[in-house]
Amino acid sequence: MMADDRVLLPLAAATRPLYAGVDLGGTNIKAALVDDAGSLLAFHTEPTHVSRGPEDAAARMGRSVHTLASLAGIATADIARVGLGSPGPLDIPNGTIVRAGNLPGWDDFPLRDRVAAHSGREVTFANDANAAGYGEFWVGSAKEASSLVLLTLGTGVGGGIIIGDVNVEGAHSHGSECGHILVDPAPTARMCPCGQPGHLEAYTSATSLKAMARERIAAGATGSLAAAVAGGEELTPILVAREAERGDALATDVLMEVARWLGIGIVTLMHAIDPETVLIGGAMTFGREANPVGRMFLERVKDEVHRRTFPVLAERTSIRYASLGGDAGSIGAAGLARLDHRRKHG
């Protein structure tokens, strides 16, 4: 058993059927075995080894499903279905990645079907951010909600929209691409890594937070963050949050600027979808509500939303941090497999 393998709910306490969820990342493959009530029975992680190519990874994802079964003491055939969350953009009906920036050379590889072949189980294929959204909706921060918008702030910005039991995957596999809603139509808007200006991701990712700080330092901003960077510390969201907690004006300003843009994007998503809950997840959550910077960031987001939305929504829409962290994708993928299984088998 690897150090990151975990065994949680005992098998005797599990509600059948059981589902496996696999979250494919650029660095790691995370796999979770989950029961029908959303409880975690086993967890397994191994490296993605992107450079070895997609067939090798598909084989390892298939083996992860067998490993989960061994960890829990069941046969793989006892797993009703597997969910696979993958970085997009995807072609969901075909089960392929169309063009994933951090998985070069994986385009058009029959990922879903090869994982099915290696695991011996049918596979539900989904965008990783949608899977994370479904995880939070099923058993995480939004489990009491009837609908959800999840924004995951990391290197990029992912989105998941869940309405009832509908995962908004889109007619062309591009649903819930909330990082790419337009928040600034000006030709001078910040450029998104996707190549278009003015997208939410261009203002609210870790990448853009770092770029904003760097630009202000280059323009002459001083203080403890600027001094730390000048002294050789790597400019990261964690460093910015640390210096904001110490009261540095530059660090605080760029965090509040990111929060302001996030609020603007959330207003548009609230007016289009009107979800019961909006969750903010991903690496860039600054210690969440437990940390003063996490609280300050969330308050600034809510303040921007409240001043721009309808009174009813300002009062009733819950905006808070996601709770499942890095497990949301694998648990949610298992949940999407469960939805498909129930649709097909009643």
Residues that bind a copy of itself (CB under 8 A): 89, 98, 145-147, 159, 161, 163-164, 166, 168-178, 180-186, 194, 196, 261, 264, 267-276, 308, 310, 312-313, 316-317
Q: Which residues are registered as beta bridge partners of 31?
A: 22, 44
Min CB(268)–a copy of itself separation in Å: 4
**For residues 160 and 335, which CB has a smaller minimum distance to a copy of itself in the complex?**
160
Min CB(270)–a copy of itself separation in Å: 8
**For residues 220 and 346, which CB has a smaller minimum distance to a copy of itself in the complex?**
346
**For residues 72 and 148, which CB has a smaller minimum distance to a copy of itself in the complex?**
148
**For residues 35 and 169, which CB has a smaller minimum distance to a copy of itself in the complex?**
169
Phi, psi at 18, each rounded to 5°: -105, 150
**For residues 22 and 319, which CB has a smaller minimum distance to a copy of itself in the complex?**
319
Give Cα separations from 295 to 128, 133, 225, 256, 309 (angstroms): 27, 22, 20, 12, 21
Contact 133, 259 (CB under 8 A): no
Min CB(95)–a copy of itself separation in Å: 16
Distance CA 54, CA 52 (A): 7
**For residues 52 and 271, which CB has a smaller minimum distance to a copy of itself in the complex?**
271
Min CB(157)–a copy of itself separation in Å: 11
Min CB(89)–a copy of itself separation in Å: 7
Q: Give the total residue count for the chain.
A: 346
Contact 181, 200 (CB under 8 A): yes
**For residues 89 and 140, which CB has a smaller minimum distance to a copy of itself in the complex?**
89
**For residues 1 and 272, which CB has a smaller minimum distance to a copy of itself in the complex?**
272
Q: At what angle do helices 54-72 and 111-119 cross, to 10 degrees?
A: 40
For residue 76, count other CB atoms closer than 10 A to its CB.
17
Q: Produce one character per residue of 230-265: b if its CB has 16 or more CB atoms within 10 Å, e if not.
A: eeeeebebebbbbbbbeebebbbbbbbbbbebbbbb
**Using CA of residue 330, residue 332, residue 338, residue 344, what is the dihedral sign?**
negative
**Residue 219: exposed, middle, or buried by beta-carbon count in 10 A (0-12, 13-18, 19+)?**
exposed
Distance CA 312, CA 300 (A): 19
**For residues 151 and 251, which CB has a smaller minimum distance to a copy of itself in the complex?**
151
Min CB(145)–a copy of itself separation in Å: 8
Q: Which residues are registered as beta bridge partners of 22?
A: 31, 84
For residue 193, count other CB atoms closer than 10 A to its CB.
16
Min CB(210)–a copy of itself separation in Å: 22
Min CB(2)–a copy of itself separation in Å: 38
Distance CA 258, CA 125 (A): 32
Min CB(316)–a copy of itself separation in Å: 5
